[in-house]
Chains A and B, each alone.
Chain A
Amino acid sequence: MTLLLDLALVAWLLGLAAYVVAERDERSAIIAFLAFGLLLGLGWVRLAAPDVAMTEIAIGGGATGLLLLRAEAALRGRGKHEEAMTRAGKLAVALGCAAISGGLGYAVLTFASPPPTLGPAALDALDPTGLGNPVTAVLLAYRALDTLLEKVVVLLALIGVWSLAPDQTWGGAPDVKPALVPEPLSWLARVLPPFGVVIGVYMFWVGADAPGGTFQAGTVLAAMWLLVMMAGLYPPPDTARPALRFVLAGGPALFLAIAFLGFVAADGFLAYPDGFAKPLIVAIEAALTLSVAAALAMLVAGPARKAPAP
């Protein structure tokens, strides 16, 4: 039965991906990509990775879909079109891509046996942290450096997006509200956020012991904030506003400060002192969740479009 589900999922994923590539209409292709992201979440559940499934559905499906749909609406009719390739060129590219897929598939079929695993090492690192979710422990203790650098990458991407604002709107607010706000959007923006905020905070809190965590919670919070901004209930903040920048930089800054504290109080960079690991990790996660939420929402909102408030 599960085999049938797996085969159907794989067939749907491949079919949707092929449709996304072959479809002529941009909007249909992006909506198909959204569906692809949601189905992929089910695929991750089948791979016994519920944390990844939640991240994939929230970010890969939801946030990326919103970003692409907004881009499609903004670019409609004036996107850059390059000359289509000739049939022979496409065939050559298809052969090359098939060769790469074949190579990867061969690698998948001939994985080393017994499979190498870092699971026991990650579990050993789990005990001193007091966390129950091994994925969270890997993200914030065993391989915390990756997570720290990732936060910096998100901030760098945001700086890149903001720097694309024209000179006269630098420091101003992005424009996310459509010219005409549909009634259902306005209604949802009033009804959903209380639930969304509770779900987001729950996902952050439960992430220590069960599937969930900062990224998933941050994305849910970002979605709620975007909903409110898109319905025009609350205007997006000026990108130069100190409070916004404080929230954005606060998570990574606290993470970095605690990482350096490790030199004094523990064994070195990014080491947590004995007995304080869990409270410190939860503090970092709380600050990171807010930073992630603000950064993701601002990444979707795009560069400043209005002149800054005086």
Chain B
Amino acid sequence: MTAVLQPGVLFGLCGAVLVGIGLFAIATSPVLLRRIVGCNILGVGIFLVFGAVARRGGGAGLEADPVPQALVITGIVVAFSASALAVALLKRLSELSAGDRAGTAAPAEPRSVV
């Protein structure tokens, strides 16, 4: 039981649960912005599992294996770039669909009155 309570294992398990929570948000949220947040939670979960691997790989004077750590740093920056691109796409999509609605709303209104 004590093995489970090592930080390396505990945060790894936390990461595993976060992956599930993130996936659930991506699959079920009706709001697209929340799905982007879900993607970030999913990413965090995967990074934490990596962190658990790094923590266990310590030794030879190192507290944790630096290679997975470097990969996680790279991953965090890439995840941010992907989020920024997704947010920009979402904003543009909402602008375009707002424009469409404005364009179709004018002729549609008299019809609904009749």
List the interface of chain A (C-beta within 8 A of B). 2-3, 6-7, 10, 13-14, 17-18, 20-21, 26, 29-30, 33, 36, 40, 43-44, 46-49, 51-52, 55-56, 59-60, 63-64, 67-68, 71-72, 74-75, 78-85, 89-90, 93-94, 96-98, 100-102, 104-105, 107-109, 111, 115-123, 134-135, 137-139, 142-143, 146-147, 150, 153-154, 156-158, 160-161, 164, 213, 215, 292, 296, 299-300, 302-303
Contacts and interface: CB of A to CB of B under 8 A. Distances in A.
Interface string B44-70: 110111011111111111111111011
Contacts of A153: 78, 81
Interface string B11-46: 111111111111111011111111011101100110
Contact of B73 (A30, A64, A139): A139
A20 B51 CA distance: 23
A67 B83 contact: yes
26 contacts: A6-B10, A43-B11, A48-B58, A52-B72, A55-B77, A75-B33, A79-B31, A94-B24, A100-B20, A105-B16, A108-B12, A115-B53, A119-B67, A139-B74, A142-B67, A146-B74, A154-B77, A157-B82, A158-B81, A160-B85, A161-B85, A213-B73, A296-B80, A299-B84, A302-B88, A302-B91
Contact of A26 (B33, B38, B65, B81): B33
Nearest to A2: B7
A33 to B, nearest CB: 5
B70 A135 contact: yes
The main secondary structure of chain B at its interface with chain A is helix
Nearest to A103: B16
A116 B53 CA distance: 9
B87 A30 contact: no
Contacts of A146: 70-71, 74
Contacts of A102: 16
Contacts of B24: 21, 93-94, 97
Given A43-B48, A146-B74, A299 B25 contact: no
B56 A123 contact: no
B31 A26 contact: yes
Interface of B: 4-5, 7-25, 27-34, 36-38, 40-41, 44-45, 47-49, 51-67, 69-74, 76-85, 87-94, 97-98
A133 to B, nearest CB: 8
Given A33-B40, A160-B85, A47 B8 contact: yes
